[in-house]
Structure 1
Amino acid sequence: MPPDSRHSVIVDLRAHFDRLEQGGRRRDRRVIPFEVPAIDAHLPDGGLATGALHEIAAAGNAAHDVAAATLFAAGILARSSGPVLWCLKAHDLFAPGLAGVGLQPDRVIYAETGDEKTVLLVMEEGLRHGGLAGVVGEFTRLPTTAARRLQLAAETSGVLALALPRGIAGGKPEDRADESTPATTRWQIGAEPSGPRVVEGLGRDRWRVALTRCRGGASAEWILEACDAAGRLAVPADATDRLAAATSPIFAIAG
C-alpha cells in the first residue's frame, strides 16, 4: 500500500475512534473470564487480562486449525462489550462465522490494509484509544519490537490486544515455549474430533486449547467444547478425568 494511502487509513481511523470515545464510556472491566473454572483458576488474573497483548496461534496450517484459532479469539471478544477493530491484509474473514460465536457484525470494524506493515500501524493506533473492546491483528509473523509497541499501547489505554500469527505454528505447543515474547499470554488452538452427537450427524466441535506461555504462571492444556453462540467454551462431560480437564503444568513456567 502506498504511504499516502496508509496515512489516509490512519487519519480516518483516528477520526472514527475520536467519535467512539466521545459517544461512549471507557471500559472499566479489567479481566475477561473464560467462565470455565479450570482455566480461570489457572490464570494469574482469574481470566484474560485486558490492557495487555495476547497471542493466539493455530496448532497447524490446516484450515480447521486456523478457523479454530480465529473463533477462539472472536469468542473472547464476544464476551466483552463495545466495538472491535479487526486488522488484516485483505478481505478473508467470514462474518457469519464470527457471529456464530457471538461476535455480531455491527460490533466489528474491519481494517483491510493491503500489507502487514500497515496492519501493525493500524493496530497500534487503535490500541491507543479507550473506546474499543479490543483490537485484533493478523500477521504472518509478529516481530518482537512490534509486539512490545503493541503491549505498551494496550497497557496505556486498557484495551485488549489479540495478535493472530498465521502460517508459523506447526508442530507441538512446546516447540515455541522458549521463544521470547512481550505478550502476557500465548495460546495455541487446534481442532479435535467432535464429541457425541447432539443431533443426528452433528456434534459440538472440540478444540485443544494450549496455554504455551503465561506471564506469572505456568503453561497448561485442555480439551474444550468450541465456543457457543455467546462465545462460551465448555469442558466436555466425558473429559473430566482426562488430561484436558486438568490444570497441571505441562511446559516450563513462562515469564
Structure 2
Amino acid sequence: MSPAECRHHALSLLRESIGDSRPGKSTVLPFGIDAIDGRLADGGLMLGGLHEVSPATATLSDDAAATLFTVGIAARAAAQSRRRVLWALTRFDLYAPGLEQAGLDPATLLFVEAREDKEVLAVMEDGLRHGGLAAVVGEVKRADMVATRRLQLAAMTGGTPALLARRWRKVGTCPLGELSAAMTRWRIACAPSARLPAPGVGRARWTVELARQRGGPGFTMALEACDDTGRLALPAAPRDRTIAAAGAAARAA
C-alpha cells in the first residue's frame, strides 16, 4: 500500500470513529425550537443515535400523544433526508390519517409486523445498519441494556436515528425505568388545549419531558402538538392569542 493510500485509509477510519462532519452532511435533527434545541447537548437529536419515547401513563390518550411525538420526529427526518421510514411493531394499530396529520405520509412508510419484541429489535438493527432509511421506529414493551446498546451501535454505523417507542407493560411500572444506552429518553403526556374564542377544540398540547439525555440535564415543558409537517410549537402567550383572535374576528366580519 502506497503512502497516499495509507493516508486515505487512515482518514477513512478516523471519519468512521468520530462521525463524518463534512460541510453539507447533517448529523443532527433539530426541533426548530430554540427552547428545546438550546437545551439539548447536541443542539438537536443525533441522527446516528437511539432515542426513546414513552407515554407518561398507561392511558390511551398519553399513548397516542407519545406515538404522534415519535411520528413528528420521523416525519422531519424523512423530509430532511428524502428517504423512507421503517416502522416495526407486533400489532398493527397505526391510523393513516393520524400519521398524515402529524406530517408523515403513509406512502413513505415500510411496515414490518413481528411476533414478539425480540423480532422487532432485530428488524430495527438490520434497518439501522442498512444506512438507507430516514429513520427506524420500533414499538416494544421491553428492551434490556444489551438490546439498546446494539441499537445505539447500529444507529451510529448507519447514521440513522433509532426511535424506540416503549409501551407500558403494567400499571405502576414506568417503561423508562429500565436501564438503557439511549442518547435521549422522552416522556409524553396530554395537557389541556388552549381555550378558543368560539366553541371548538384548540390545537392539542402535550407535556414533554426529557427524562434523560447524554451530556446534559433533563427538562419539562408544555408544547403544542405536531402540525402537518411534524413540527411542535411553543404555546402562544395570552396577549398573542388575544391579538390572533381579534384578527380572525376582523377577517370574518
Relative to the length of structure 2, the TM-score reads: 0.78
Q: Residue 134 of structure 1 contacts residue 161 of structure 1 at CA under 8 Å; is this kept in 2?
A: yes
- 8 A contact 1:87–1:137 mirrored in 2: yes
Map of 1:48-197 to 2, 5 A cutoff? 48-81=45-78, 82-168=83-169, 180-197=179-196
Deviation string 1:176-227 (CA, Å, 9 cap, x unpaired) is 57x5321000000010111122763110100000000010000100000000
Alpha-carbon separation, structure 2, partners of 1:169 and 1:187: 19
Cα offset for 1:171?
Answer: 6.4
Q: Distance in 2 between matches of 1:217 and 1:239?
A: 31
Q: Distance in 2 between matches of 1:80 and 1:50?
A: 8
Q: Please, which of 31, 37, 42 is the counterpart of residue 40 of structure 1?
A: 37
Amino acid at match of 1:112: E
SS in 2 for 1:159: coil
Which entry has the higher C-alpha Rg, 1 or 2? 2
What is the identity, as a one-letter code, of the residue corresponding to 1:130?
A: G
Question: Partners of 1:168 and 1:61 in 2: how far apart?
Answer: 9
- Counting matched residue pairs gives 212
Closer, same or farther: CA 199–52 of 1 in aligned 2, 3 Å = farther
Cα separation, 2, equivalents of 1:124 and 1:37: 32
Specify the SS of the correspondent of 1:46. coil
Deviations 1:104-151 (A, max 9, x none): 011110100122111111111111111100000100111111111000
Alpha-carbon separation, structure 2, partners of 1:51 and 1:205:
30
Q: 1:65 to 1:87 in 2, by over 3 A?
A: same
Runs of 4+ in structure 1 over 4 Å off: 168-173
User: Which segments of 5 or more consecutive residues in structure 1 lack a partner in the other structure?
Assistant: 1-26, 241-255
CA distance, structure 1, for counterparts of residue 229 and residue 51 of structure 2: 21
Tell me whether 1:237 sits opposite 2:236 in the alignment: yes
Contact kept? 1:60, 1:169, Cα under 8 Å: no
Letter of the 1:83 partner, please give it.
R
One-letter amino acid of the structure 2 residue matched with residue 116 of structure 1 = D
Question: Residue 87 of structure 1 contacts residue 119 of structure 1 at CA under 8 Å; is this kept in 2?
Answer: yes
Compared with structure 1, are the counterparts of its residues 136 and 197 closer, same or farther at alpha carbon in structure 2 (3 Å cutoff)?
A: same
Matched letter for residue 225 of structure 1: E
Q: Deviation at 1:28?
A: 3.3
Q: How does 1:195-214 map to 2 (within 5 A)?
A: 195-197=194-196, 200-214=199-213
State how far apart, in whole Å, the 2-side matches of 1:199 and 1:116 are.
Answer: 46
CA displacement at 1:80 relative to structure 2: 1.9
